[in-house]
Amino acid sequence: MLRLRLPSTKNHLLRAAGLIVGVVVSGTLGYSLFGLNPIDAFYQTIITISTVGFRELVVGEPGNAWKIFTSVLILVGTGSMLYGATAVIESIVEGRITGQYRRYRMQRSIDDLSGHLIVCGMGRVGSSITEFVRSVGQEVVAIDRDASRLDGVDFLHVLGDSRREEVLRQAGIKRAATLITALGTSVDNLYVTLSARGLNPNLFIVSRCDDQEALTKMLQVGADRVVNPYEIGGSRMASLATQPNVADFLDVVVHDGAYEARLREILLPEDCTFEGKTIDDLTIRRETGAVVLSVRDLTGRFHTDDVARRPFEPGDVIVAIGSESSLDRLAEQVDR
């Protein structure tokens, strides 16, 4: 089936501008051949194609050649001016210029981000991820190649195929802290994971997969965590069936936001004042009001039973529960 391909806004406007410039240059050269100096020739061209009706600059009675050239210039010039005006009006009416300006401003905002999170794929899984991440105050840039999924959203986004490195760069991949791939197939998620790891070696990558074989490959190409939504959904349903109150409590604390208590992880930096001290030494609960549930060391092991008597080490990650204010106080102590 033959489809008519309309010119893009940029080409449409460039063509109109080119026609107008061409008419002005041709008219100036033509009047110069009739003996006018360049300034007068340019002036004569402008008043001719704009049809303002000022006097002609020719000395004496204009000849036939002058009249024919001027008539042709009027026809071509006014036609070009109308074409240009139509292109601009059409672009404004269709929202092309407005849309391009909005995309330009959005790209400028993305370029100013650092330490943000990128979500690839705005299907049901990606949309849920984005909604939750934004609810906890994290800056998000979403990527999707389906424009209908991004229509009307009020957060930063890039329209394009996240498998392309150029699209990842537009989303600020080199300045991002985390990437989540939530595309529809494991192959696509694997490809994005591989590309993202090459663009930013320090990126924390969470990838979606649908089978065990894909999980292993994603870890091999650079994913830090791999998630199978079907397994998580099954585990969640099993938890509700066997321990519904525990499952509900975790949902309220982690996801709901209506409960005062929150869970937060806090990384201990180098030369932290916590180094070599225990929870009892620091009196964390009394000083901050937060409760340390566990500590994860650099090997990935969680310390729970010995968490109170184990000295903190650089690189430890504290998992604590408490109100927002108490967790903020704990984070401030860590940063001292």
Residues 163-197 pLDDT 10s: 999 999 999 999 999 999 999 899 999 999 999 99
Confidence check: pLDDT of 26 > 70: yes
pLDDT at 283 (0 to 100): 80
pLDDT at 53 (0 to 100): 65
Contacts (Cβ under 8 Å, ≥6 apart) of 143: 118, 119, 120, 121, 122, 157, 158, 160, 162, 167, 168, 171
Contacts (Cβ under 8 Å, ≥6 apart) of 108: none
Confidence check: pLDDT of 6 > 60: no
pLDDT at 269 (0 to 100): 87
**pLDDT class of 2 with cuts at 50, 70, 90:** very low
Q: Which fold has domain 113-227?
A: Rossmann fold (3.40.50)
Burial of residue 300 (number of CB atoms within 10 Å: 0-12, 13-18, 19+): exposed
**Cα 205 to Cα 219: distance, rounded to the nearest angstrom:** 10
- Give ranges for CATH 3.30.70.1450 in the chain: 260-335
**Cα 172 to Cα 212: distance, rounded to the nearest angstrom:** 30
Architecture of the domain made up of 9-93: Orthogonal Bundle (1.10)
The arithmetic mean of pLDDT across residues 136-141, rounded, is: 89
Closest CA to 133 of 153, 162, 155: 155
H or E element, residue 15: helix 9-33
CATH superfamily of 260-335: Regulator of K+ conductance, C-terminal domain (3.30.70.1450)
Average pLDDT, rounded, for the chain? 85
**pLDDT class of 8 with cuts at 50, 70, 90:** low
The arithmetic mean of pLDDT across residues 112-123, rounded, is: 94
Closest CA to 77 of 117, 47, 55: 47
**pLDDT class of 94 with cuts at 50, 70, 90:** low
The arithmetic mean of pLDDT across residues 52-56, rounded, is: 70
More confident residue, 33 or 201: 201
**Cα 22 to Cα 97: distance, rounded to the nearest angstrom:** 24
- Give ranges for CATH 3.40.50.720 in the chain: 113-227
pLDDT at 109 (0 to 100): 92
**pLDDT class of 318 with cuts at 50, 70, 90:** very high
Prediction pTM value:
0.63
The arithmetic mean of pLDDT across residues 56-76, rounded, is: 78
The arithmetic mean of pLDDT across residues 319-332, rounded, is: 88
Torsion (CA) 110, 111, 112, 117 in degrees, nearest 10: 50
- Give ranges for CATH 1.10.287.70 in the chain: 9-93
**Cα 138 to Cα 177: distance, rounded to the nearest angstrom:** 11
**pLDDT class of 250 with cuts at 50, 70, 90:** confident
pLDDT at 99 (0 to 100): 66
